[in-house]
Structure 1
């Protein structure tokens, strides 16, 4: 019994200690429970809801700890600072300085933009000479020419024996001996209609002898593209003997992205640089925008004409091209002030007294850190150029309506 009584007393003591510890723990737990929410700031209105700053789209009706992060929920007041009924986001001066908000004015200015593209040099297809036989005959002699040779204007290509021309010249000389000016003039005109050059007709008149062998020459300087004249070949009237491409000017065919087609126009200035001539710039102008787009690269071909002094620019060379923009005055804002959401483009307007609200805009070109505003802003309106994303998130969170294009100030 004594042992049992001692054991009972020992057990009761253990239970008493446990109860005391439990009570103390309960008291300590209550003492360490979360404190009530801080008092509302002076001037604050009704609490609309509570939210976690890390997950602002999730709203809660009661205060407490966030289910997402180990932090207390923050109240949202209906006082104009983010309240859904407020027309703008309001930021006090101290917060503006902390956020680094920078406000700039939309101004009219010149956007002398350049479009950088690439292209290749090609022959000027408008500077082409086709050398043909104007009468049937034979190739009597071929001069030492080959495709790819560079020739000067007047360089001989081949000597042709043209029997029809020889017969016509003999008749002309016979009529001329009659001493009748009318008949002589008619016979001379017949030689012209057969395609004889004036120099050959004058030579026949001066020498009084027919000349059925004619030397065919190139009328322009350039490069021989094709050469079909071969000694002993029989020729038909109009048969092509050679084709010569001029090299005085060349074409630069530049590939312009389809999305930038509106930035290019005929007559626009262009500057080309080539790795073959480091530090040198070749100036030209846009002479045509080809009507067909390249389906595989989604580009347009812009044809630029370049002077080719000394024939240094050779077809096939690769070039970098800078297409000059115009200097028309347009409404400009810093490019960093523009917020692209994917569905529309916004800026944050500064309406005074630390109040801001979003406005939709339609933008144009970008250049040198400036963006052209086509619609949605007026000259003199102020936009936020730094920290605008925070303001846009707050405006979206609190449901502030975006000023539509054409909605006025």
Structure 2
């Protein structure tokens, strides 16, 4: 959330209306009420700053280069008054009137339950393909169409195979022969010609040739493809129909890659369909597909759901609940305590004597109103869960800098690009540069601040340089430069 001076005005109005005739007020960094303040003849300014960009310090007063306002002084005695880290002090009465709530940083196991939406699809492992075993003609096509549900053995088409007629007559003629080997060879020829064994037995029992065969569905399911019409000719191996079983369906769901940690193949999955709200279905996570979607940054899950009565139909939607095991012991705070600025996450840390200060934190997984804290807080500390935005606004106007969550020894990442110097000014270097590939930033012309003034020594407009920048709250800052 952006910080605006208006928040401070709101805070003061609330304090005055709730606290009576000026009974409560804010005092920063240990300031006592005016009546108790010791006389001071001179205050020394450490630096000047813009309350909207408090991390940028200036050596002299003047107008802010960021906003249309005068710079504000930061005095040495204000920091020395507390002998500790700068903070905002709020009287207990104001805390009570504002309904300010605190929470303790605790350690525990943060299990997660992930809720996503999925769509039912056909089980592509339960597929049967019906083909013509020999060339022939379609004598009859039964009244079926793609999408029809059929039982196992349901007739699909009657096929006439002229080649079978001659082979069957030869087999029947040899039934009375004295040579059993000849009869066995004739039977084998029928099988090699593609005639089913059941049809061969039927011919042997009846003593009549049967060149027409009825092809039925190998399994129970739904017809996905049907390529038979009466009178059409068929080549050997021509596909006639494709049937998909419905005894089990797949539920496909997408999970953000940032939340996929902890998923395990084989774990139980609960699904609830809007079509059957009173009948939840329990399935199994069959696989986590290996390819990540580049556009949505999600992983696809394939969940197997039993469908014994055939009421689960592909295309239906379902709400999926996945239990993800969390780490055994992590620091955690209420999610509502976090101020998310877009670039970083902040919390307002409560200290002794009604003092508060902003602290940057690195967050982990989140679930059920709690979020894991990876860095920035210690167990037992207290953070503000209600009213922290008002304190954050006051701290910003007071110029209190946020304590970073990263270790001080961690060097900032440097991103390099080639460019040409357009102008050199007090604000830094204006450079027409190429793309920063590691930032995903295209080429453009912009002004960069300098991490050290000596980086501009000897440079002039028109020089070509290769330079590296780091990214922080103050924007992109030049950390290094090389001249060809």
Q: Same fold (TM over 0.5)?
A: yes
Residue aligned with 1:311, SS: coil
Q: Please say if 1:146 is aligned against 2:142.
A: no
User: 1:21-36 counterparts in 2 under 5 A?
Assistant: none
User: 1:390-409 counterparts in 2 under 5 A?
Assistant: 392=392, 397-400=398-401, 402-406=403-407
C-alpha distance in 2, partners of 1:46/1:184? Answer: 124
* Counterpart in the other structure of 2:212: 213
**In the TM superposition, what whole-angstrom CA distance separates every residue of 1:159-214 from its partner, at most 9, and x where no partner exists?**
21223334344455566655666666565555444333332233344445443221
Residue aligned with 2:371, SS: strand
C-alpha distance in 2, partners of 1:253/1:77? Answer: 60
Question: Alignment partner for residue 34 of structure 2, among 9, 33, 38?
Answer: 38
Q: 1:280: Cα distance to partner?
A: 3.3
Is this contact kept in 1: 2:259–2:365, CA < 8 A?
no
**In the TM superposition, what whole-angstrom CA distance separates every residue of 1:103-145 from its partner, at most 9, and x where no partner exists?**
312221233322233x443333332222111101122233333
Distance 1:40 1:380, change over 3 A: closer
Residue aligned with 2:362, SS: strand
Structure 1: gaps of 5 or more residues? 1-36, 63-67, 69-73
* Counterpart in the other structure of 2:122: 123
C-alpha distance in 1, partners of 2:350/2:191? Answer: 82
Is this contact kept in 2: 1:105–1:333, CA < 8 A?
yes
Is this contact kept in 2: 1:226–1:244, CA < 8 A?
yes
User: 1:132-211 counterparts in 2 under 5 A?
Assistant: 132-172=131-171, 188-211=187-210
Residue aligned with 1:201, SS: helix
Distance 1:338 1:300, change over 3 A: same
C-alpha distance in 2, partners of 1:139/1:214? Answer: 10
* Counterpart in the other structure of 1:65: none
Structure 2: gaps of 5 or more residues? 1-32, 62-68, 70-74, 410-484
Q: 1:335: Cα distance to partner?
A: 0.3
Q: Please say if 1:104 is aligned against 2:100.
A: no
Moved more, 175-184 or 282-291: 175-184
Is this contact kept in 2: 1:161–1:214, CA < 8 A?
yes
Distance 1:403 1:260, change over 3 A: closer
Q: 1:378: Cα distance to partner?
A: 5.2
Is this contact kept in 2: 1:113–1:366, CA < 8 A?
no
Q: What TM-score results when the alignment is normalised by the length of structure 2?
A: 0.59
* Counterpart in the other structure of 1:314: 313
Distance 1:167 1:377, change over 3 A: farther
C-alpha distance in 2, partners of 1:77/1:109? Answer: 42
* Counterpart in the other structure of 1:324: 322
Question: Alignment partner for residue 94 of structure 1, among 89, 92, 95?
Answer: 92
Is this contact kept in 2: 1:44–1:77, CA < 8 A?
no
Q: 1:349: Cα distance to partner?
A: 4.2
C-alpha distance in 1, partners of 2:85/2:79? Answer: 11
Residue aligned with 1:231, SS: coil
Q: 1:218: Cα distance to partner?
A: 0.2
CA RMSD in angstroms, aligned pairs only: 4.5
Which structure has more relative contact order (CA 8 Å, sep 6+)? It is 1
C-alpha distance in 2, partners of 1:339/1:175? Answer: 92
Residue aligned with 1:220, SS: coil
* Counterpart in the other structure of 2:29: none
Moved more, 385-394 or 213-222: 385-394
C-alpha distance in 2, partners of 1:43/1:264? Answer: 65
Residue aligned with 2:125, SS: coil
* Counterpart in the other structure of 1:385: 385
* Counterpart in the other structure of 1:361: 361
C-alpha distance in 2, partners of 1:78/1:227? Answer: 83
**In the TM superposition, what whole-angstrom CA distance separates every residue of 1:65-103 from its partner, at most 9, and x where no partner exists?**
xxx9xxxxx99733454xxx7325375883685463513
Q: What TM-score results when the alignment is normalised by the length of structure 1?
A: 0.68
Residue aligned with 1:247, SS: coil
* Counterpart in the other structure of 2:453: none
C-alpha distance in 2, partners of 1:80/1:324? Answer: 53
C-alpha distance in 2, partners of 1:404/1:231? Answer: 75
Distance 1:239 1:196, change over 3 A: same
C-alpha distance in 2, partners of 1:251/1:276? Answer: 16
Is this contact kept in 1: 2:88–2:391, CA < 8 A?
no
**In the TM superposition, what whole-angstrom CA distance separates every residue of 1:303-349 from its partner, at most 9, and x where no partner exists?**
433333432233333x2423313132352221022222322223344
C-alpha distance in 2, partners of 1:198/1:49? Answer: 102
* Counterpart in the other structure of 1:17: none
* Counterpart in the other structure of 2:78: 77
* Counterpart in the other structure of 1:370: 370
